């Protein structure tokens, strides 16, 4: 068996960890994840999804604030890993960690590298209107997602996909690809190939302010934005001094150009639509801060004055 350390934190990483735990070739001797965080209305301390999985499996868990601290590296080295698998861990691995295991550090990344290197590849692919994304298994180097590629698998982005729905498919695809690839890699039958840096694109860690809707963009771009930022942080505008989150929207008149002022709400087939710089965007579901997400027709029954208003 291959002594394996797994590094990961969010839900996306759980299928990969479970796949390793269930495979007879890999002996998961330790899991490294981010420290417990306060979350929810009660601000209670919560385990990361990866820690929850590791605890149930009876695997030792390390939760360093900083992976670069010497004592943390000593703990990691004491596990004597032959392989480290990283999936959405959330910290940079330095050269001493990359060089620690015999077979190196292998990463599961949710894009077809070199496209969308960085922290938010799923959101970036939807926002850009990419028709296809996928999963990449690579051997890590000191750069951000720049290491040589072992294998890749494509996944179509469906017209209705949100970041949430695509996340779930890619999490499982990545886990399946990892388990299909590692035995060949460990036997020397799979040679990592360098990435083509000329085709590289970058994406940053998501911030809430990025989800603020700019109505001077096209309806098509805003519709992609709604899906790209679902479930977090949620695309939003402002109305009557409050944040108004848009849960679902669709382009209904892509060729309307300049007839409706950008941000102006009009009545549309029993619901409401908003003017943009190019096209008309129908609002299907919306949510005021502190309230639940509502179908637009239900929302209008109590707040009909939104029709005619201009969203900020």
Q: Is the pLDDT of residue 135 over 80?
A: yes
* 26-32 vs 61-62, strand pairing mode: parallel
The mean pLDDT of the chain is 95
Do the beta carbons of residue 281 and residue 213 sit within 8 Å?
no
90-125 pLDDT tens trace: 999 999 999 999 999 999 999 999 999 999 999 999
* pLDDT at residue number 43: 74
CA distance 6 to 179: 13
Confidence of residue 239 (pLDDT cuts 50, 70, 90): very high
Task: Work out the average pLDDT over 5-30.
Answer: 98
Q: What's the CATH number of domain 2-203, 2.40.420.20, 3.40.50.170, 3.40.50.2300, 3.40.50.720?
A: 3.40.50.170
Q: 181: closest CA among 36, 299, 12, 23? A: 23
Whole-number pLDDT of residue 223? 98
Predicted TM-score (pTM) of the model is 0.96
Determine the length of the chain.
Answer: 312
How far is Cα 53 from Cα 61, in angstroms, rounded to an integer?
Answer: 10
Mean pLDDT of 14-20: 98
With cut-offs at 50, 70 and 90, classify the pLDDT of residue 262: very high
45-57 pLDDT tens trace:
889 999 999 999 9
> How would CATH label the architecture of 208-306?
Roll (3.10)
Q: Above 80 in pLDDT, residue 40?
A: no
In order, the DSSP letters of the chain are -EEEEEEE-SGGGHHHHHHHHH-TTEEEEEEE-PPPEEETTTTEEE--HHHHHHHHHT--EE--S-TTSHHHHHHHHHT--SEEEEES--SPPPHHHHTSSTT-EEEEESSSTTTTEES-HHHHHHHTT-SEEEEEEEE--SSSS-SPEEEEEEEEPPTT--HHHHHHHHHHHHHHHHHHHHHHHHTT----B---GGG--EEPPP-GGGGB--TTSBHHHHHHHHHHTTTTT--EEEETTEEEEEEEEEEEETT--SSS-TTBEEEETTEEEEE-SBSEEEEEEEEETTS--EEHHHHHHH-GGGTT-B--
State residue 193's pLDDT score.
97
Residue 73 pLDDT class (50, 70, 90 cuts)? very high
Mean pLDDT across 76-84:
98
Q: How sure is the predictor about 253, in pLDDT bands with cuts at 50, 70 and 90?
A: confident
Q: Find how far residue 17's CA is from the centre of its chain.
A: 17
Residue range 15-31: mean pLDDT, rounded: 98
Q: What is the pLDDT of residue 186?
A: 97
Kindly tell me if the per-residue pLDDT of 58 is higher than 90.
yes
308 vs 121: CA distance, rounded Å = 37
Residue 136 banded pLDDT, cuts 50, 70, 90 = very high
* Cα radius of gyration rounded to whole Å, the chain: 22
Q: Where in the chain is the domain with CATH 3.10.25.10?
A: 208-306
- The span from the CA of 252 to the CA of 220, in Å, is 10
Phi, psi (5° rounding) for residue 279?
105, 170
| pLDDT tops 90 at residue 215 | yes
pLDDT at 259: 79
Positions of CATH 3.40.50.170 in the chain = 2-203
Residue 222 to residues 22, 125, 219, 301: CA-CA distances in angstroms? Answer: 42, 14, 5, 25
């Amino acid at each position: 068996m291959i002594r394996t350390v797994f590094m990961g934190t969010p839900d996306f990483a759980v299928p990969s960890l479970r796949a390793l735990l269930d495979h007879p070739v890999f002996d998961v001797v330790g899991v490294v994840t981010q420290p417990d965080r306060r979350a929810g209305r009660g601000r209670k301390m919560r385990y990361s999804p990866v820690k929850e999985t590791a605890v149930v499996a009876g695997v030792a868990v390390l939760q360093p604030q900083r992976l670069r601290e010497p004592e943390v590296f000593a703990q990691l080295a004491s596990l004597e890993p032959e392989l480290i698998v990283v999936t959405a861990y959330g910290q940079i691995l330095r050269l001493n960690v990359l060089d620690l295991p015999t077979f190196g550090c292998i990463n599961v990344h949710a894009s077809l590298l070199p496209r969308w290197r960085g922290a938010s590849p799923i959101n970036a692919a939807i926002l850009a209107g990419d028709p296809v994304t996928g999963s990449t298994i690579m051997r890590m180097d000191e750069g951000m997602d720049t290491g040589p590629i072992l294998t890749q698998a494509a996944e179509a982005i469906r017209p209705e996909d949100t970041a949430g729905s695509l996340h779930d498919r890619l999490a499982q695809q990545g886990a399946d690809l990892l388990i299909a690839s590692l035995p060949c890699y460990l036997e020397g039958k799979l040679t990592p190939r360098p990435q083509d840096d000329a085709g590289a694109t970058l994406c940053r860690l998501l911030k809430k302010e990025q989800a603020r809707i700019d109505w001077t963009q096209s309806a098509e771009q805003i519709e992609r934005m709604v899906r790209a930022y679902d479930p977090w942080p949620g695309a939003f505008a402002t109305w009557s001094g409050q944040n108004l989150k848009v849960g679902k929207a669709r382009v209904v008149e892509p060729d309307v150009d300049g007839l409706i002022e950008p941000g102006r709400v009009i009545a549309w087939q029993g619901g409401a639509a908003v003017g943009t710089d190019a096209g008309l965007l129908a609002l299907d579901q919306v949510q005021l801060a502190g309230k639940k997400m509502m179908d637009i027709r239900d929302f209008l029954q109590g707040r009909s004055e939104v029709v005619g208003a201009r969203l900020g």
